[in-house]
Structures are given as C-alpha cells and as structure tokens.
Chains A and B, each alone.
Chain A
Amino acid sequence: MNAPPKKPSREFLKPPVTEVGVLGWLHSNLFNTWYNSLLTVVVLLMLWQLVPPLFGWAFVDSVWNSPAEACRDIEGACWSVIPQNISFIVFGFFPDGHQWRPGIAMLLLLGLVIFSKDSRHWKKSLAVYWLVGLVTMGILMYGGLFGLLVVDTDQWSGLPLTFMLALFGMVAGYPLGVLLALGRRSRMPAIKTLCVVYIEMIRGVPLISLLFMSSVMFPLFLPEGVTFDKVLRAQVAIILFTAAYIAEVVRGGLQAMPRGQFEAAESLGLNYNQTMRLIILPQALKIVIPPSLGILLSTFKDTSLVVIIALYDVLKTTKVTLSNPKWTGFSTEAYIFLAVFYFICCYAMSNYSRKLEKALHTGR
C-alpha cells in the first residue's frame, strides 16, 4: 500500500464553471428555478429599501449617551435611554449606594454558571462551590450580616430578580420534573395517580393564573399572621410550573428507552434506583435535551410575567423608566435593548445545549 496509486489512464475533467465556486453556489441556491430567481430579486430589492434607513437610524443619526433633551431634535435612535437609566433598569428599587451588592452577586452567579458548564468540574466539590456561592449571594442581597443594610425582598428587582427566578425555576424545576416523570411511570397506583393529577392540573392552567393564585389566593388559606415572602411564592409557582412540563418531556425520553436496557440492568442485579440513575436516566435525559431546553428557555422568558403580581423584573423596570416623562417615546430603543439581552441569554443556553449533546454522543 506504500506505492503511490497508479494514475488512471483516463483524464479527470474539471466540472463546468457554473457548477462550482461562487457561481455554482449562486446557481444552485438562489437561481436554480425561475421562481427562486424571482424571489431572490424581490428579496434583494426589499433589503435595498429597508437596510440603509434602518442602519442610518440605529447607527448614523443616533445618540448613545446624552441627556434626554438632546434626543428631542434628532432623526435617529436615542440609545441614551439605556445608559442614562441603567442603574434603575438593572437594579430597580435596590437602595442607592448598595447596588454593588446585587452587582457582585450577579457576577458571582455568572462565574458559577460558567464554571459549571465544563463537564470536568462536575464533581462533589461543585456542589460545595454552589452552596458557598448561594449563601454569599443571599447575604449580599438580603444583608443583615457584617453590618450590611437589610434589604427586604420587596426591593429586589431588575436583573437580579429575573436571574434568580429563572435560575431557581430551572435548577429546581428540572429534578422535580424528573421525579414526577418517574412517578407517573410508577407501578404504585397512588403515586402514579398523584403525579398524573399534578401534571395535568398544572399544565391545564396558564402560568399567570398560578402566579395569581400564589400571590392572592394562597395567603387567604394561611392562618392570620403567617406570611410567606412574595418573591418566594412567585419562585415556587415558577418551579412547580416548569416541573410539570419537564416531567412530560422526560417521560417521553423514558418511553423511548428500549426494554432491553432495563432487562440488561436488572439481570446484572442492579436495583430500581441504580438502574434508573446509572442506565436509564443518563440516556433518556440525553435524548430529551432539545425539548427540555425549549422548556427551560420558556421558563427564563416567562419570568417576565411576574409583573402582574407587582414584582419588578428587568422588563418592568424598563417600562417604569419609559413612564418617566423625560424618556417617554423611546420605547423602541428600550425594547430592542431588552430583546437583545433576552436573545443573548437564550442563545447562550441553546448553544451550550448543542455542545452538551455533541459531547454526550457516543456513536449510536
């Protein structure tokens, strides 16, 4: 096999120039039929009409960091609405002069999330880091220790609130959902019925009504004097809601597992817990990464619904900014900013899930 392959007697011709390279690509992708050619031309014309003015509005005629007055007599975008109000948009009603606390808490959270992405760090020590991190974040947010001013959860708002509701919603909702999925497949009728009723009930109502119930109805049932924190109640509602949806997705994954996997595990003498933990769940959860991600993304975005029970997440703080007479009329810019923020977060999650899927692929 070391000898160079013999040159064949026939000549290898180059393909026609219209089939390869840029021309070939254009031909096969944009102009391969008459209607595709028509579509291409129409789309190009539309882009020609739309893109330059949009670009001019957003980048050329715009102001980026000026007082509100300067925005009144320009043609372009007034991005100043963001930097001029950034501390309220991000931190909301957190007391002035203490906003470094949620700031550090968020950086800590971001650091932990980035650290946890790497599968090499998935050890017992990771749980310890998270515990330490969460306690630190709690102290930073609530205060009361080390001479920090106590900041009640009523004043937690903006980005920290959004991140908190989303992160705990996902991190607590997911395992709860897995347990519910296992419960729904249980052979014990009581457990099975309980899980089915729970899942169907939660899936049968909108998140908004759950939030309402948690904030308005739930306190009515409590004895006088007993109160639960409002943020906590919203958080629980989000967790319960996410869990019900995750449960059904995970159940789908469990049903996709071939019977042989259960039998092979059982015939080795593994018990139910070991079979699930070591054999079935790792495979089933891998199968359902894409739909699970969809639910987790919804959870993240749905946190903005907490406005209806008067919690100020980042969407609401932005709205409040816009209700300031100085800044009314610049909602387009503000909402574009928010859209970009939500997109970046969701895209990062989506990207990570794709990488995870690839890393877990073992060739079958």
Chain B
Amino acid sequence: MTHEVFSSQHPPLAELAEQLAYDDLMNCMRCGFCLPACPTYAVTGDDFDSPRGRISLAKAVADGQLSPDDPGFAQAFDRCIGCLACQEVCPSGVQYNRIFEQARAFIEARRTHGPVRRLAFSGLFLHQGLMRTAAALMRFYQKSGLQALVRKSGVLHVMGRLGALEPLLPKLAAPQRMASGQWLLPSSDRAAHAVAQVQRIDLRNRRAIALSAPARKNRVSSTATAVEAAQDSERANACLRVGLFGGCIMDAALSVTNVNTARLLQYAGVAVINVRGQACCGALHAHNGDLQHARELAKRNIAAFEQAEVDLIVSNAGGCGAQFFEYPELLQDEPLWHARACRFLEKVVDVTELLDRLDNLEGLRPIEAVVTYQDSCHLRNVMGVTEAPRKLIQSVPGVRFVELPEAEKCCGSGGIYNVTQYDFSMQVLDRKLAFLKQTQADYLLTTNPGCQLQLAYVAKRSGLPLKVMHIVDFLAQALPEER
C-alpha cells in the first residue's frame, strides 16, 4: 500500500530525488539488522532514530511521498552521527554513507547558517594558517587566566549548549610541529626491515601495495635552499617513504600527536615527511552538506601528496582516513581528478595499520598500566581497522589490555555532532561511561581527535581517574630515550 502523501513535481523534490543514490535506497530490505549497530537507536528505541528509519524517509522523499523541506526529514538526518556502523552490518550492502551525505547536503543547502559556522567552514578549515592562529588565540584564552575568568563569570551558561561544551576544549600545549617538507630519516637497519615487511602489505583486500623498486625520478629542486633537502630525499629513496597527513584539528590543537606519529614511524624504519601544501581532509564539510568545499580540499590534498612522491599516505585520525575513501566518488564527475583520487586512495594507510604491518617496534620501554581502547567509528567501519590498534597496545611491555564493552559503538562525538546535537550526544556518551567504569582502566586510547576530546570530556565530567589519549601518544611514551 503506498500513501501519496506528497504528490508530484515539486522542484526541490525532483532535485533531491535525482541526487539521492536511488540504487542504494532500493537495496534496503528493512530487515532491521542495522538497529543493534546504531548508537542513536540504542538511546531512543525509536525507529525514527535508526538507519532503517532514515533510509525509509529518504526513500519517501525520492518516491514523492514526502517533501524534502519537511522539518522531520532534516531532523532525522541531523540526529544521525554518521558513524556508519550500520553500513558494516548491512546484508544488502546499502551504501548509507552516500545517502547520508546527499541528504545532509540537500538539507544544509536550504539552511542559513550563522556567521561563526560559515567562517569556520569556508575559512578556518580551509586554511591551516588560520587554524593555527585560532589555536594560538585559544592558548591565550587558556593560559592568560581568561578561561578561569570566563568559567567563573557565568557567561558559559548564557551561551547554552556551546557553553556546556567549553570544557571539551583540549588543553593546548605550545605548538610542537614537524617542519613541513623535510624528511625525517630512519636508521638504516630498521629501514631495511621496514622495506622488507611492507612488500607483503595487503590492506583489507582492497588493494595490494606493490612497492618493488618504484621508479622514482631524482627530483631536482629549483630553489637554492633545497640542496640539503634533495640530499635527504636521495637518502629517503632507499627507505619506505611515507607522507604524514597532519589534519586540521590535529595540526592546530593536537600537533604533538603528529610529531609522535612521525617519531614512531621513524623508529619503525620509514622515512617520514610532513607534506607541504596539504589541507583539511574535508570530512566535516562533506558530512555537514558542504560538498563544494569538500571537493576543493580533496584536490588540494591529492596534488600535495602527488608532489611529495611518497609510497604511502599515513593518517592518524580515523575520520580523515575515512574521508580519503570518499575522494574518488566526490570527484567522479571529473575523470582526471577521479583517477588521481583513486591513485591517492591506494596509498592511504592508518598509522596503526602500518605500524602493525611493519612489526618493527621492538625495544619499547615498559608501561605498567591497565589500558583499554575505544574504536574510532570511521577507522573501524570505513577503513576496516580493528585488530592493529589492539595488537600495538599489547606490544608495549607491562600493559594489561582490557577490552571495553561496546568499544565498537560510537562515543557520540561525530565531528561537530556534539555541538549540533548536544543532548543526544551526551545520552550516547552516558552509555559509554557505564562501560568505561567497568574496565577500571588507567588509560583509554583512541585513534581519532574527535573521539579523544569527547572521551576526555566524559572522563573529566564524571571524575574518572582515566587518562585519555591518542594511541600514538601512548606508544611514543614507550619509545626509548634518543641517543
């Protein structure tokens, strides 16, 4: 029985119906296997907050049953965190990420946003320099005593949900940044081992990386100052060359994690370069409906990493790594860029996946502690990395690893979800907190900055004696003193 709720040729409707990936919608058989995977359904038990419910609404729009301007339609997709756990368990392979992104793009295109968000999306995230300036201002805010003053003043209460999130801001250390465009070289014996190991790399069946003697041009740099760099580059040719994707939030707020990533990779025998000219991955834009800027950022990254001539592109944030998987589709209307995006993607690897494959971290110092791990949704559901982080943690001597119940379920961070859907995000987090207490862990490790901030927030709010950090920062603590 079909209900002709919304009849016919409404222009925006036709527009969305065209945009929506109809094949993906049609694939949904309503079996409900996605329900137990969905963090928002776990909170409400209402099918409106389930993937199946959201898909049925998207289908209702595409079929002309429902107006895409309906506030309920927007609400359904606003409430989705975008963790994509549903996609991972779907028997009929519904590409929920496509439905989600297209629906969000449509919804956002019809909204007018306040100046702060507009500035952030079209300014801050597009320009690393601006992001750094913002971070510097933030440090000033924290260091100057202004933060204490603001906290006391009650201004935060007036700010409502944004105010409630203020404690979520990371405590910003003075920037510790890896110089851009310069190689960090490994010791030669470790390098040999790394090259041997990585020959066998096979990332989740999706591609096999062939690294047998890649034909590399000897790059001749035109600038005079680059002579030294060219020599380094020459030496790097003998190693596995990886380009570090720094990310925007990572680079500005958690830059020490990038430095630690490079140190670990270097220790594990690869030559690391902080690739010049890279930008934000564009995930926040894509998930919040700003596909145009997402494309622009994708192109900038593709070009930057091509220029650097690296064997692998290493990401240390699940959310960014997963966004790289979107690049080919994002650029599918531009055949040349699409091909470049595919080549780019073939090189993408998460830092934990690479370190695990390199298997070259012997000599770590012991850390006596109970450690647990929260999956990054996108690392797990899009990049398919689940075992590597757990194995790495257990490779540190002295560590007792405890599995966090429902570690695979989202923490509710979701990019800026915890800002746009504060109440919902906190309900998702409450469930997480109950399990965290069970573990009695000293450390909670994760692989994505958003998750890290969200979980640090809950630990602080609930007074749990739990150190929340990026897995890379934890591992770096175990690196032997540099000689």
Q: Do A and B come from one complex?
A: no
